[in-house]
Amino acid sequence: MHASILHILNTTKTRIRTFGPQIYPESTKAGFEKRDFFSAVADAKADGRVPVIAEVKPASPGKTFRDITPATAAELAWEMEEAGAVAVSVLTEPGVFRGSLENLDAVRKKVCLPVLRKDFIIDRAQLEETESDLVLLIAGILGGELGSFVELALEKGFEPLVEVHDRKELDSALETDARVIGINNRDFETLKIKLGTTEELASLIREYDLDHGTKHLIISESGMNSTGDVRRVIQAGVDAVLIGSALMESASVFDKTREFVQSVCWR
């Protein structure tokens, strides 16, 4: 596992141990209604659009894109929604990625789209911190606990998006009740990008679904910087793409999101 990933895990453990979970008051949870991610993806496809999960991402390991306050996060998310994104992903890891739960909360209040909480979930207490429609669970980090975290997320009303990097992690993910699998093209050891990871693993998921009568939604994550990249992973059989860095680096988040949304015609 790359040093920066280990650093994030260590700081996350320290944060939970020192401060405990940031429990939101019950009033914020009252009346929470999960937004339907599956319908959002299906509607985009039927409309000939690429289902893009657009990410509010202040930073990544070794790179800062921009400081993002809750007000800025909400504005960016609104631009993403207007440009045709099917969901918004919000980084809540505060150290390396400079995200926050406040950003997540502001985004969900601003847009009507499903919202994904993207963080390094390693403690059950983190699933008590706030509400979101989807929550990221990373197979390579949770290991043998993945199944129980998927169950708990479902119990709490989240749609778990299980992220995998290789065949072994994919096998673990397919043993759980998760319906959404994210294939991360960034290698956990080297942090290098390889879109071939999506091509390899997406076909295995499709084979599994044919053999078992199941249906997983497949998302390609990381490393898509051009419409050509998006077309490549869509042709590999994915249902949606998650794009962060390319949007954050663009002069116009609206224009860049729309460019990716319109990069393939499904019909």
pLDDT at 27: 38
pLDDT at 201: 98
Q: Residue 231 in 3-state DSSP?
A: helix
Helix runs in 59-100, H state only: 70-82
Has residue 25 been placed in a domain? Answer: no
In this structure, is residue 266 part of a structural domain?
Answer: no
72: Cβ contacts below 8 Å, ≥ 6 apart: 66
Which residue range(s) make up the domain with 160? 3-18+37-261
- Overall domain count for the chain: 1
Per-residue pLDDT for the chain (267 aa), expressed as one digit of tens each? 666 778 888 888 887 777 665 655 443 455 678 999 999 999 999 999 999 999 999 988 778 888 899 999 999 999 999 999 999 999 999 988 999 999 999 999 999 999 999 999 999 999 998 999 999 999 999 999 999 999 999 999 999 999 999 999 999 999 999 999 999 999 877 888 999 999 999 999 999 999 999 999 999 999 999 999 999 999 999 999 999 999 999 999 999 999 999 998 655
- The position carrying tokens 């390991």 is 61
pLDDT of residue 18: 74
Q: Which two tokens stand for residue 160?
A: 């778990």
Q: Which two tokens stand for residue 110?
A: 């601003």
CA dihedral 78, 73, 138, 52 (to 10 degrees): 20
pTM of the model: 0.92
The answer to whether 58 touches 64, Cβ cutoff 8 Å, is: yes
Q: Could you list the active site residues? A: 55, 57, 118, 163, 184, 221-222
Q: What is the pLDDT of residue 10?
A: 83
Helices (H), 175-226: 196-212
- The token pair that represents 260 in the structure block: 């990716």
Beta pairing partners, 218: 181
Question: How many CB atoms neighbour CB 157 within 10 A?
Answer: 15
In a domain, 23, yes or no: no
Q: Judge whether 31 lies within some domain.
A: no
- Whichever domain contains 105, its CATH number is 3.20.20.70
Question: Please, are residues 63 and 241 in contact by the beta-carbon 8 Å criterion?
Answer: no
Q: For residues 172-211, b (16+ Cβ closer than 10 Å) or e, as one string?
A: bbbebebbbbbbbbbeeeeeebebebbbebbeebbeeeee
**Residue 25 DSSP class:** P
pLDDT value of residue 19: 63
What's residue 28's pLDDT?
Answer: 47
Render 108-140 in DSSP notation, one character per residue.
Answer: HHH-SS-EEEES---SGGGGGS---SEEEEEHH
Residue 229 falls within a domain, yes or no? yes
Asked if the structure places residue 267 within a domain, the reply is no
Question: Which H helix or E strand runs over 41?
Answer: helix 37-46
Asked if the structure places residue 60 within a domain, the reply is yes
At residue 11, the pLDDT reads: 84
| Whole-angstrom distance, CA of residue 44 vs CA of residue 266 | 9
CB 55 within 8 A of CB 243: yes
Domain membership of residue 70 (yes or no) is yes
